[in-house]
């Protein structure tokens, strides 16, 4: 009796909408980027009323890359996300609860990387949007505010 088995290997991608990890071909985004919010009007009144911290203007966005997976931090908030071969990246993070226990924060950054190689540390910039979603529950009331601001950052 002769038996034959065919083994077919498909790309390891569980969801067709999720691109494969770009591995070594990912944009070299790792580094330190001080954020600048051009023409920023500050926080809207509903955010000021919630005691939302000021935008991280001038604070360093730190990025580390392992293939297409990003980790990093911004103003003490740990971030996780993805980078694509095209240079588009997205990061999200939630800091520990505020010291008063009431403010809940969710941060999201979406950006495009241009220029520069990671090895030389020269060049490279990000252009994108910072979004902060904030909420606080006081008694039976829930207050919310969202801040979305464009940013630019040049790698140090």
How much of the chain is helix, strand and coil, in % rounded to 5? Answer: 5, 45, 50
- Looking at residue 25, its pLDDT comes to 87
- Looking at residue 100, its pLDDT comes to 65
Spell out the residues 6+ positions from residue 124 whose beta carbon is closer than 8 angstroms to its own.
Answer: 28, 29, 31, 113, 114, 115, 116, 117, 118, 154, 155
Q: What pTM, to 2 d.p., does this model score?
A: 0.81
Spell out the residues 6+ positions from residue 63 whose beta carbon is closer than 8 angstroms to its own.
Answer: 29, 30, 31, 32, 33, 70, 71, 72
Beta carbons of 63 and 153 less than 8 angstroms apart: no
**In a 3-state reduction of DSSP, which class is residue 131?**
strand
Q: For the chain, what are the domain ranges?
A: 31-154
- Looking at residue 91, its pLDDT comes to 98
- Looking at residue 118, its pLDDT comes to 53
Mean pLDDT value across residues 139-148 = 89
CATH 3.40.50 fits 31-154, yes or no: no
- Looking at residue 12, its pLDDT comes to 38
pLDDT in tens, 113-131: 998 665 555 679 999 999 9
pLDDT in tens, 34-87: 999 998 888 999 999 888 989 999 999 999 999 999 999 999 999 999 999 999
Mean pLDDT value across residues 121-147 = 88
Phi, psi of 108 (to 5 degrees): -145, 135
């Amino acid at each position: 009796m002769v038996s034959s088995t065919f083994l077919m290997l498909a790309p390891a991608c569980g969801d067709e909408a999720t691109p494969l990890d770009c591995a070594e071909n990912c944009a070299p985004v790792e580094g330190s980027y001080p954020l600048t919010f051009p023409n920023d009007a500050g926080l809207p009144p509903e955010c000021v009323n919630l005691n939302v911290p000021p935008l991280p203007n001038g604070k360093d966005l730190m990025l580390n890359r392992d293939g297409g997976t990003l980790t990093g931090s911004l103003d003490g908030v740990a971030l996780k996300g993805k980078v694509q071969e095209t240079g588009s990246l997205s990061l999200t993070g939630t800091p520990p609860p505020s010291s008063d226990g009431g403010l809940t924060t969710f941060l999201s950054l979406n950006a495009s990387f241009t220029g520069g190689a990671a090895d030389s540390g020269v060049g490279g910039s990000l252009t994108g949007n910072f979004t902060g979603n904030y909420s606080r529950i006081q008694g039976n009331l829930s207050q919310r505010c969202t801040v979305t601001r464009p940013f630019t950052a040049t790698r140090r």
